[in-house]
């Protein structure tokens, strides 16, 4: 925020660091180990009186001088230039904090230069003893340079107590100082052997060449084995957050880890082969291959180390985009543009407007993204990683960035700035407009079943257990299969009506044109509950057209097969889930379903965050989410250690959708017509009963905690803040599909509500659910008279079939004194529950 921005596009900051730093550091380690290699080879030549070995050592010293002093020095300067431009805040911190450490390192570096120049140019003029002493001096200076640089490099990953003390010594002798020093010392030895192979190919004397190759093999093999062993020590010394980032959290690290083991094996095999089988066959190309394998080994390690530092440049102090962590609260309050000293003046003066929003987004991209991401470049290409998002999806991603997946720093700035950056990335870079809302057909009127109040002896009432049964099935995975539970009660009309469950059967058939399994059959009787029920896996397609409210006709017959009652009801079902809003792709067919592109992106995200291999597994068949995550809705137990399905989904998505209305959170995922009927008409939304997405997720996660599923629950709860209540402690835990909103929270004593929130008061058991609860007489189900959940009468034309059948008007069964639907005499007392509009 304090310094000018290096404008980067195709070749982002990560590219320059990768190209310059990894090669420089490889050569820098050779500068240490190679110095020891030279002086020991020289002593061996004198000891064995081998002029060929001495001549080789002289020539190798020339190669060593050119590579370490010429290329090493130039690339070292290039690193300073690059990091100063990419990360000026971190660079200035390192300079100020370790000024005497840098000074000491430069003294050692100067000693290296002087010693190496003297060493190279005095082969024929200096006596052997003094020449060897100069060689040893070079190595000592080189190793102490490594010693000093190691403290500063280690500080960036593990600053330890420095974060609080700001002490030079706490920062320098940080928690990984010693294991990293030993690790790098051994790798320096391996580098000496690897580079030695290259120059050994030119030794004319065969015996000497074989001897040098075997020596180089020993340096390489011992060095690599010791590097791997001390690497474990190094990793074990990492503090918990950095250790988790390297070993558990980051999917990118897994790839680097695989390459690390591959190149370690290749380097060892190459070293062994050259020592045992191929000393006579060694050639420059073969030596170069083994050298490059060593570069791959060290490069993959450096990438892992850098990954462990994410999302920081200096862990816990400066983020990877040079934003000071301590400044984040102020920037979030005042705005990133206002705090950035080099922001365009017109943006500072006018703020973000419709005319300059793209310019603001472009500046914010350079300020917070360009240090790592390129635009169309070879590394961390921003468009490749964001092309599935529309503006809303991109805004949600930025909102959750750095919270759950902490590989990236959080977005800093105001909500308006976040939206400007989202607009720039989605529309400006990717050309992705806002994803339009899906088309939901207007419910067509249906003809109610016949009913004659003068002749009919029975009333058949039916309802669905959910207001909108959604399902998610793709070729790659199944989150929730299709299947609607419908329930029914058969009532014999009388002065005191009777529920009928014996000697009758209730059949069902879905109207023609729909797809699915078991579209006709019989409901099962539940004698104790006084009702019938059955599950129908109907899909929302009538003759290929999307129709989320198919009609099912139910018929009750006596044991002689005589029809005694019939009715019709809608079965709310939809696969119009909004996964594509953030995970890319379009609809699977028409305007519903999960397309393969969307499903693949979802599984890839799961793999990246959780280190799974679902993308690969899905090629063999669809993955069932309940294999790992328990879900009462599917009677699935899942795993005792992994989070429940609802807690995992809502907890994760709440991180990104926090602070949004139900329209921009719940209904970005769930079908838009989930809520219908009276509650919608009075202006209610999902959060009135279930809480905001954050509140809803916290309740589920606390339920997981009570069930012993602590790991994911604790991690997500540490991120989320409640909306409706002051603290998480005030949110009552709940289990999905068991503890649901309690109707009587608002409708106390069945009266008109004096509150508009039922959040945080849950039913205790499944039998307490609205769809299964019975009246005060323990006879008639609430939903039999009031309609399906989320579709309380009056609702849509297709939801209102039963009120229209029995009363000719769309309202609750029996409302406005229509007791004659079931009672053959006028009633003057509200026996079902108070507040029925009947005088008590």
Percent of the residues in the chain that have a pLDDT greater than 90, as a whole number:
71
Ordered alpha helix ranges (H), 237-283: 240-244, 251-276
Asked whether the bond before 542 is cis by omega within 30 degrees of 0, the reply is: no
Domain 458-574, CATH number (from 3.40.250.10, 2.60.40.10, 3.90.650.10, 3.40.50.1100): 2.60.40.10
Q: Tell me where in the chain the CATH 1.20.1630 domain(s) lie.
A: 13-318
Both structure tokens of 805? 């059948």
Long-range contacts of 45-50 (CB under 8 A, 24+ apart): 46/128, 46/132, 50/208
Residues with Cβ within 8 Å of residue 276, at least 6 apart in sequence: none
Backbone angles phi, psi at 13, to 5 degrees: -60, -35
Q: For the stretch 283-306, what's the b/e string if a residue is b when 16 or more beta carbons lie within 10 angstroms of its beta carbon?
A: eeebbeebbbbbbbbbbbbbbbbb
User: What are the CA-CA distances from residue 283 to residues 40, 191, 290, 533 (Å)?
Assistant: 24, 18, 11, 80
Q: Give the H/E segment covering residue 522.
A: strand 520-522
Taking the C-alpha atoms of residue 209 and residue 197, their distance in angstroms, rounded to an integer, is 10
CATH of domain 13-318: 1.20.1630
Inter-residue contact 585 to 596 (CB < 8 Å):
yes
Both structure tokens of 102? 């840098």
pLDDT digits (tens, 9 = 90+) for 335-377: 999 999 999 999 999 899 999 999 999 999 999 999 889 999 8
E strand intervals along 64-144: none
Inter-residue contact 534 to 508 (CB < 8 Å):
yes
Question: pLDDT tier at 22 (50, 70, 90 boundaries)?
Answer: confident
Mean pLDDT of the chain: 92
Taking the C-alpha atoms of residue 459 and residue 547, their distance in angstroms, rounded to an integer, is 28
pLDDT digits (tens, 9 = 90+) for 614-629: 999 999 999 999 999 9
Q: Tell me where in the chain the CATH 1.10.760.10 domain(s) lie.
A: 323-429
Inter-residue contact 46 to 130 (CB < 8 Å):
no
pLDDT digits (tens, 9 = 90+) for 371-402: 889 999 888 899 999 998 999 999 999 999 99
Taking the C-alpha atoms of residue 507 and residue 488, their distance in angstroms, rounded to an integer, is 11
Which of 370, 44, 339 lies closest to 215, judged by CA? 44
pLDDT digits (tens, 9 = 90+) for 179-204: 999 999 999 999 999 999 889 988 89
pLDDT digits (tens, 9 = 90+) for 684-694: 999 999 999 99
Asked whether the bond before 794 is cis by omega within 30 degrees of 0, the reply is: yes
CATH of domain 323-429: 1.10.760.10
Inter-residue contact 510 to 550 (CB < 8 Å):
yes
pTM above 0.85, yes or no: yes
Highest mean pLDDT among 211-215, 516-520, 529-533: 529-533
Q: Tell me where in the chain the CATH 2.60.40.10 domain(s) lie.
A: 458-574
pLDDT digits (tens, 9 = 90+) for 529-567: 999 999 999 999 999 899 999 999 999 999 999 999 999
Both structure tokens of 550? 């198919």
Q: Give the H/E segment covering residue 102.
A: helix 99-121
Taking the C-alpha atoms of residue 148 and residue 243, their distance in angstroms, rounded to an integer, is 24
């Amino acid at each position: 925020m304090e310094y000018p921005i290096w404008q980067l596009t195709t070749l982002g900051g990560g590219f320059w660091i990768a190209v310059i730093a990894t090669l420089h550091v490889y050569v820098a380690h050779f500068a240490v180990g190679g110095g020891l290699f030279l002086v020991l080879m020289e002593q061996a030549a004198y000891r064995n009186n081998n002029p060929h070995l001495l001549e080789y050592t002289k020539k190798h010293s020339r190669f060593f001088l050119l590579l370490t002093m010429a290329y090493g020095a130039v690339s070292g300067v290039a690193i300073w230039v690059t990091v100063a431009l990419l990360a000026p805040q971190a660079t200035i911190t390192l300079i100020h904090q370790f000024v005497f450490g840098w000074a000491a390192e430069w003294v050692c570096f100067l000693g290296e230069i002087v010693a190496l120049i003297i060493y190279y140019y005095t082969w024929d003029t200096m006596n052997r003893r003094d020449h060897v002493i100069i060689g040893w001096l070079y190595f000592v200076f080189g190793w102490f340079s490594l010693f000093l640089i190691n403290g500063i490099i280690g500080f960036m990953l593990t600053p330890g107590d420095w974060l609080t003390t700001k002490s030079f010594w706490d920062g320098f002798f940080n928690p990984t100082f010693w294991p990293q020093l030993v690790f790098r010392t051994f790798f320096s030895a391996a580098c000496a052997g690897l580079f030695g192979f290259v120059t050994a190919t030119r030794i004319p004397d065969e015996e000497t060449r074989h001897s040098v190759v075997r020596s180089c093999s020993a340096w390489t093999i011992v060095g690599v084995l010791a590097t791997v062993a001390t690497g474990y020590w190094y990793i074990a010394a990492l503090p918990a957050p950095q250790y988790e980032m390297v070993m558990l959290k980051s999917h990118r690290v897994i790839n680097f880890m695989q390459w690390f083991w591959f190149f370690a094996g290749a380097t060892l095999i190459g070293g062994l082969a050259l020592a045992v089988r191929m000393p006579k066959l060694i050639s420059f190309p073969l030596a170069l291959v083994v050298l490059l394998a060593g570069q791959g080994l060290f490069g993959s390690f450096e990438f892992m180390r850098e990954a462990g530092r994410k999302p920081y440049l200096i862990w816990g102090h400066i983020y990877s985009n040079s934003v000071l962590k301590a400044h984040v609260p102020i920037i979030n309050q005042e705005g990133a543009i206002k705090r950035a000293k080099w922001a365009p003046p017109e943006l500072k003066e006018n703020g973000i407007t419709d005319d300059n929003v793209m310019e603001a987004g472009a500046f914010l991209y350079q300020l917070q993204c360009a240090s790592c991401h390129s635009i169309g470049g070879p590394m961390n290409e921003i468009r490749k990683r964001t092309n599935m998002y529309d503006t809303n999806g991109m805004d949600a991603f930025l909102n959750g960035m750095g919270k759950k997946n902490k590989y990236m720093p959080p977005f800093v700035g105001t909500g308006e700035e976040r939206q400007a950056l989202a607009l720039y990335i989605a529309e400006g870079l990717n050309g992705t407009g806002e994803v339009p809302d899906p088309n939901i057909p207007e419910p067509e009127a249906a003809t109610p079943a016949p009913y004659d109040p003068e002749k009919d002896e029975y009333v058949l009432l039916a309802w669905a257990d959910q207001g909108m049964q959604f399902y998610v099935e793709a070729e790659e995975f199944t989150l929730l299969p299709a299947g609607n539970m419908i329930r029914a009660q058969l009532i014999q009309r009388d002065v005191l009506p009777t529920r009928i469950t014996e000697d009758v059967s209730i059949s069902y058939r879905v109207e023609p044109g729909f797809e699915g399994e078991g579209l006709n059959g019989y409901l099962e009787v539940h004698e104790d509950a006084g009702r019938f029920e059955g599950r129908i896996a109907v899909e929302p397609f009538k003759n290929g057209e999307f129709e989320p409210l198919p009609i099912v006709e139910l018929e009750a017959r006596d044991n002689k097969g005589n029809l005694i009652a019939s009715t019709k009801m809608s079965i709310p079902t939809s696969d119009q889930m909004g996964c594509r809003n953030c995970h890319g792709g379009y609809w699977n067919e028409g305007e519903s379903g999960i397309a393969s592109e969307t499903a693949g992106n979802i599984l890839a995200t799961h793999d990246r965050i959780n280190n799974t291999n679902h993308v690969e597994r899905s090629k063999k068949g669809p993955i069932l989410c309940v294999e790992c995550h328990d879900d009462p809705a599917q009677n699935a137990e899942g795993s005792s250690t992994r989070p429940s399905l609802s807690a995992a989904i809502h907890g994760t998505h709440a991180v990104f959708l926090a602070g949004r209305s139900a329209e921009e959170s719940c209904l970005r995922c769930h079908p838009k017509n989930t809520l219908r009927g009276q509650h919608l008409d009075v202006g209610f939304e999902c959060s009135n009963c279930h809480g905001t997405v954050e509140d809803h997720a916290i309740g589920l996660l606390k339920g997981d905690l009570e069930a012993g599923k602590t790991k994911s629950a604790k991690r997500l709860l540490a991120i989320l803040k409640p909306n409706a209540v002051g603290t998480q402690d005030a949110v009552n835990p709940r289990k999905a599909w068991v503890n649901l909103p309690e109707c009587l929270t608002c409708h106390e004593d069945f009266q008109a509500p004096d509150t508009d929130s039922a959040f945080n008061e849950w039913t205790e058991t499944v039998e307490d659910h609205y769809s299964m609860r019975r009246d005060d007489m323990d006879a008639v189900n609430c939903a039999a008279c009031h309609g399906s959940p989320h579709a309380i009468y009056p609702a849509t034309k297709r939801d209102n079939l039963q009120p229209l059948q029995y009363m000719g008007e769309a309202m609750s069964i029996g409302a406005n004194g229509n007791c004659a639907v079931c009672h053959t005499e006028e009633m003057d007392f509200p026996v079902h529950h108070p507040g029925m509009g009947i005088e008590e």
